């Protein structure tokens, strides 16, 4: 063999050996990284660890309200006047002052006497800022006197009461030292990152902790330790070997997606359907009215493993508009045509600055044709006036906490005719306060002779239920059984049907007990609760093994009284597991009298009377005025024939 040929063969062999070694090295690197990631739980590393690779995102975030959602009470963070300023609400005058670098308030405490309390943390920045006081037992309380951070020309730069005219006395849940204003339970989860409440029911004390004091990167992306390790490898190697970036929350709903607008109809369409709600549910943790049912949430986890969105009728008007009780944005947005079309939160809001991507009507014109919608022919108002703003008509604002207007995210067509028919608000009369709804409805009819009912079509059914009309049952069933209605609305209709037990409600529960949406399944369980053992078993048994904790717990509640009749070992094991989750959920909220009451009822249904009695007594210790716990405790004593007389606590 010629030497040149031998050289080429040798060189080719060397290249092949080198490639083989490279492949083996890459395999070992990937294997070691995978083993390391699997062996260690992901940990929170802090926002500063993100800044070196994500400088632009970090700079945007540090300017946001998320970054200052909660801060230590230092000179740069405190906005209010602490120059011996006085504020009087009812019979109490509070004085805000400083001692050196520390901030204090002199006000009434839980014992009714006046004390000096140090302000430990600020809470929010605009349009108001609240202040937190650290009391005994790890209990942190939010003052109900807050600072109005708006400019003076808007009525701001003043102290004001969040509970004007209520005159809450000490020991009242609405007093600033009461459980309604307890940071550990009511507030912390949404103003800091990775909050763990850590309540000890034996001592009635908290050891609440958080990974970061504010709403930082990992609040939305999940713990970052695996991601930072992944980021240390060269980009070329990450591209070749593995694409898992180590983050638990994969917020990819908008990746590679574009919107195209039909020039004829002006209707925008998403290039591909949105097939997941990861981003929306991540935002819903804080921007939704919900019940917290378990500890340990991190971004990317199943939402209904840790929270249950509330669909209580009193939170919304019958047409779905936000009501006086703060409902935030999630439940409203789920009713909207935008949600149904595939819009996500970050289509409109920059996730790092937490501000709108574009101001004014141009935000909507990202998708909607300006020539069709941003014209007087559409809105019939002066182009430079407030009536020309899309949000004025389609996202009217309700003011919460006295100074904080929030836009309704159900994004609806103005319906003054519904104001006339069922007495719900309408956007027209929020501006035209000197005219009535009949005038507004007539004006709409002149502009649009062909009725435009809008996307939401359930108002009459829910209104009939609110006024206890006999037509409500059939109307609610039609809403619940209409697959074109938003799933949040169908769940609401089913929940309302639970108050009308009968064949119609039962048929709806059976029809939707296997719906793809867990909140719909949970509402079907509510209906089953109003029936006997056969119906409860039929609907509830499959849900004991549901993929969502909230549904499993709901099934355990519905089956509690009849669990002893379960025939197979598998059924009993499934019930026991779901029941344990239910108990753990109530224990997580054991600082709340209502949860202790619910747990007591659960134990009573299981005929575990000693445990039930202990929970009812605990509820009364937390809230001595809770008549339901008093009655339940008396019922247990009667059931036992104890003859103990008045209830002892």
Q: Encode 487-518 in three state secondary structure.
A: HHHHHHHHHHHCCCCCHHHHHHHHHHCCCCCH
Q: Are residues 266 and 185 in the same domain?
A: no
Domain contains 308: yes
Whether the model pTM is above 0.85 = yes
610-630: burial string, b at 16+ Cβ within 10 Å, e else: ebbbebbbbbbebbeebebbb
Domain boundary among 413, 428, 453: 413
Q: Are residues 187 and 320 in the same domain?
A: no
Domain contains 215: no
Report residue 306 as tokens. Answer: 């840790």
Domain contains 519: yes
Enclosing domain of residue 123: 70-191
Give the pLDDT confidence score for residue 580 in this predicted structure.
98
Q: Are residues 277 and 397 in the same domain?
A: yes
Domain boundary among 543, 564, 591: 591
How many structural domains compose the chain? 3
> DSSP secondary-structure letter at 184?
I
Domain contains 40: no
**Local structure of 158: helix, strand or coil:** strand
* Tens-place pLDDT, residues 538-548: 999 999 999 99
Q: Are residues 387 and 267 in the same domain?
A: yes
All residue ranges of the chain with pLDDT < 50 are 7, 9, 20-27, 35-38, 643-649
Distances (CA, A) of 80 to 133, 161, 236, 498: 15, 14, 51, 48
Q: Are residues 500 and 400 in the same domain?
A: no
Domain contains 184: yes
Domain contains 606: no
* Gap between the Cα atoms of 389 and 274, Å rounded: 28
Give the pLDDT confidence score for residue 321 in this predicted structure.
96
Q: Are residues 399 and 506 in the same domain?
A: no
Q: Are residues 368 and 269 in the same domain?
A: yes
Q: Are residues 283 and 381 in the same domain?
A: yes
Q: Are residues 396 and 498 in the same domain?
A: no
**Local structure of 316: helix, strand or coil:** strand
Domain contains 244: no
Domain contains 556: yes
Give the pLDDT confidence score for residue 5 in this predicted structure.
54
Q: Are residues 173 and 278 in the same domain?
A: no
Q: Are residues 290 and 376 in the same domain?
A: yes
Residue 453, class by beta-carbon neighbours within 10 Å (0-12 exposed, 13-18 middle, 19+ buried)?
exposed
Domain boundary among 413, 442, 469: 413
Q: Are residues 187 and 102 in the same domain?
A: yes
């Amino acid at each position: 063999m010629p030497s040149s040929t031998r050289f080429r063969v040798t060189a080719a062999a060397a290249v092949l050996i080198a490639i083989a070694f490279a492949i083996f090295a890459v395999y070992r690197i990937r294997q070691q990284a995978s083993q390391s990631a699997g062996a260690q739980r992901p940990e929170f590393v802090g926002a500063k660890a993100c800044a070196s690779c994500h400088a632009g995102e970090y700079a945007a975030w540090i300017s946001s309200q998320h970054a200052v959602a909660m801060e230590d009470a230092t000179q740069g963070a405190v906005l209010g006047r602490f120059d011996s300023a006085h504020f009087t609400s009812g019979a109490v005058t509070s004085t805000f002052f400083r001692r050196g670098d520390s901030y204090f308030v002199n006000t009434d405490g839980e014992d009714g006497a006046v004390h000096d309390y140090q302000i430990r943390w600020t809470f929010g920045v605009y349009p108001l800022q609240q202040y937190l006081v650290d009391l005994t037992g790890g209990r942190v309380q939010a003052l109900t006197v807050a600072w109005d951070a708006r400019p003076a020309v808007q009525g701001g730069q003043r102290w004001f009461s969040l509970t004007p005219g209520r005159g809450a006395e000490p020991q009242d849940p609405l007093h600033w030292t009461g459980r309604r204003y307890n940071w550990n339970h009511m507030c912390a989860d949404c103003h800091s990152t990775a909050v763990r409440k850590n309540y000890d029911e034996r001592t009635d004390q908290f050891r609440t902790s958080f990974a970061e004091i504010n709403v930082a990167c990992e609040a939305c992306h999940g713990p970052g330790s695996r991601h930072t390790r992944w980021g240390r490898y060269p980009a070329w190697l990450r591209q070749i070997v593995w694409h898992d970036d180590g983050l638990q929350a994969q917020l990819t709903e908008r990746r590679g997606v574009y919107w195209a607008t039909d020039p004829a109809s002006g209707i925008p369409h998403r290039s591909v359907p949105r097939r997941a709600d990861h981003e929306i549910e991540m935002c819903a943790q804080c921007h939704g009215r919900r019940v917290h049912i378990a500890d340990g949430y991190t971004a990317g986890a199943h939402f209904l493993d840790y929270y249950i969105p509330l669909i209580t009728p009193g939170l919304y008007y019958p047409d779905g508009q936000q009501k006086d009780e703060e409902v935030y944005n999630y439940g409203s947005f789920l009713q909207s045509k935008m949600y149904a079309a595939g819009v996500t939160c970050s289509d409109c809001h920059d996730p790092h600055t937490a501000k709108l991507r574009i101001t004014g009507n141009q935000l909507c014109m990202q998708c909607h044709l300006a020539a069709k919608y941003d014209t007087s022919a559409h809105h019939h108002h002066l182009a430079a006036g407030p009536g020309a703003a899309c949000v004025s008509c389609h996202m009217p604002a309700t003011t919460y906490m006295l100074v904080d207007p929030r836009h309704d995210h159900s994004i609806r067509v103005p319906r003054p005719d519904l104001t006339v028919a069922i007495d719900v608000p309408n956007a027209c009369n929020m501006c035209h306060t000197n005219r009535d709804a009949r005038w507004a409805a007539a004006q709409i009819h002149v502009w649009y002779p062909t009725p435009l009912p809008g996307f939401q079509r359930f108002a009459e059914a829910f209104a009939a239920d609110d006024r206890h009309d006999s037509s409500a049952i059939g109307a609610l069933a039609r809403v619940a059984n209409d697959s074109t209605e938003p799933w949040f609305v169908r769940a609401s209709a089913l929940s309302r049907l639970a108050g009308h037990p009968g064949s119609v409600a039962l048929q709806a529960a059976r029809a939707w007990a296997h719906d793809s949406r867990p909140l719909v399944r949970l509402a079907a369980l509510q209906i089953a609760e109003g029936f006997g053992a056969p119906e409860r078993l039929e609907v509830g048994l499959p849900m004991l093994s549901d993929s969502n904790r909230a549904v499993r717990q709901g099934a355990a509640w519905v089956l509690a009284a009849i669990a002893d009749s379960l025939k197979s070992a598998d059924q009993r094991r499934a019930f026991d597991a779901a029941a344990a989750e239910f108990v753990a959920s109530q224990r997580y909220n054991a600082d709340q009298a209502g949860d202790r009451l619910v747990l007591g009822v659960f134990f009573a249904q299981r005929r575990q009377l000693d445990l039930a009695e202990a929970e009812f007594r605990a509820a009364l210790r937390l809230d001595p005025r809770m008549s339901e716990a008093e009655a339940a405790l008396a019922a247990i004593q009667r059931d036992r024939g104890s003859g103990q007389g008045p209830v002892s606590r």
